[in-house]
Amino acid sequence: ITGLKNQDPVTVEIKLRGNFKISAARGTKFSRAWFGHVEIGPSRGRKVRFWDLAGIDEDIANEKGTDPDYVASCKMLRTTGEYFIEDVTRDRLHPNDTRRLISHCAKVDGYGCAIRIEMEGGSHTKFVEAEFLEMLAGYDVEFIKPTRSKVVRAGGYSSAVKARNVKLVTKPEGWYPHRSQIFYSEHEAFPRKGVGIHDDIVDACSGAYNYLVSEEEEPTDSQLIHTATSMSKGIEEKPWKGRWGR
């Protein structure tokens, strides 16, 4: 019970009283009814895990009587016009444990999943980036410095959710059964601020979405076959303008 006193109200109601119907005060950007659900997501598509970092673990937060941010991540896959949230994490961890978690997720996700890590400015940033690059050698890793407000960064993601283009992968052995209530509560409270209201999962999800929509699309298999067939017949084909046709 002592460890729960600094948790957000939704977490306290769930863990202490078993109230799974609780939800945070409503914001304006998201509704749980807008998210689609699939038990198994697509096997192919562009993938990224986006990390929103924080630096205080649960024990220190309890000692200080504070309610700091969480380390959160979102693994998202993009297919044509649809986005699938395959995994979500949210923890308060010591920096060393955060590194271990990021390394573990990278190994589980595989080399085909890009890794993007949000980094605030500061004199220590370059040292932290160097540590991560060494730890994640061989992976597609980049660091993102936010230049716009959280609300602006979440705008495109919110629109995709409203359009029913974002789906949650709910397989029983995955993240959904354990973190779905926290996921929905954060989203439905966004962008409200106040005691016990957090937006770390929203930040991670919007970061993943923004990365996927910012990447130029690669040609599909059918487009490549069509182009190759045309070229073999001597037909001049307009070059593909995606990542492979720069």
The one-digit pLDDT tens for each residue of the chain (246 residues) are: 444 444 444 555 555 666 655 554 566 899 999 999 999 999 999 999 999 998 665 555 455 555 678 999 999 999 988 999 999 999 988 889 999 999 999 999 999 999 999 987 666 788 889 999 999 999 999 999 998 999 999 999 999 999 999 999 998 888 998 889 999 999 999 988 775 688 999 999 999 999 999 875 554 455 445 545 544 555 444 433 333 232
| Amino acid 127: pLDDT | 86
CB of 52 closer than 8 Å to CB of 207: yes
| Amino acid 113: pLDDT | 97
- Please name which of 52, 51, 169 lies closest in space to residue 115, comparing C-alpha atoms: 51
Beta strands in the chain (DSSP E): 36-38, 46-52, 71-79, 82-91, 113-118, 141-144, 166-169
Chain mean position to CA 138: 21
Give, rounded to a whole angstrom, the gap between the first and last alpha carbons of the chain: 58
| Amino acid 68: pLDDT | 77
Give Cβ neighbours of residue 152 (< 8 Å, ≥ 6 apart): none
CA dist., res. 208 & res. 177, Å (int) = 21
| Amino acid 28: pLDDT | 81
CA dist., res. 165 & res. 209, Å (int) = 11
Query: 82-91 and 113-118 as β-strands: parallel, antiparallel, unpaired?
Result: unpaired
Beta strands in 53-191 (DSSP E): 71-79, 82-91, 113-118, 141-144, 166-169
Q: Which residues of 218-227 are buried (b: 16+ CB within 10 A; e: fewer)?
A: ebeeeeeeeb
DSSP 8-state assignment for residue 23? -
